[in-house]
Amino acid sequence: MMRSLITGTLCLALLAFTTPAHATLGGKAATVDTDRTRLKARSAAQVDRVNYTVHELTLDSGTVAREFMSSDGTVFAVSWQGPQRPNLKQLFGDSYFSRFQTENKSTARIRMRRAMAVTHSDFVVRTGGHSGAFWGFAYLPQTAPGGFPVQVLQGGAQ
């Protein structure tokens, strides 16, 4: 009895200190299925390009989220377009999402009426839209494959 109690307590403690793995900006792509589940995507597709791969998730809302991965499996960009914003914390990861929030805190009251942007040498975000038509993208310029066309993110095309 005591041994099973200790084992159970140890398992709970280990679970408490583990973070869920998911393919967030700057992370590895080994668990794209986790994003599909957490974002409640009803379908997923993969498109291979010359120096990157695009994982496309169609969410229940109709929004399409794309995760762009370099050949080493690192997510270097995400984009979305559709009737609702996806869970940006899930797509960006905690660190980049916090930076995005901090950067846009001063404009919180008016942000629904204008596009939001964050531009740093290591992290770029553009997002905007209105009810029923949201869009956006985020990327890490330093981890993007050489010659990656950023306009692919802006147009939703691959």
Return the domain boundaries, the chain: 21-155
State how far the Cα of 144 lies from the Cα of 134, in Å rounded to an integer. Answer: 24
Q: Quote the pLDDT of residue 106.
A: 61
| CA 40 to each of CA 37, 45, 77, 145: distance values in angstroms, whole numbers, following the listed order | 5, 14, 20, 29
pLDDT in tens, 118-147: 899 999 999 998 888 999 999 999 999 998
User: Which residue type occupies 34?
Assistant: T
pLDDT digits (tens, 9 = 90+) for 4-61: 433 333 333 333 333 333 468 888 866 566 666 677 777 677 888 889 999 888 988 9
Q: Can you spell out the DSSP letters for 91-111?
A: HH-HHHHHHHHHHHGGGTTTG
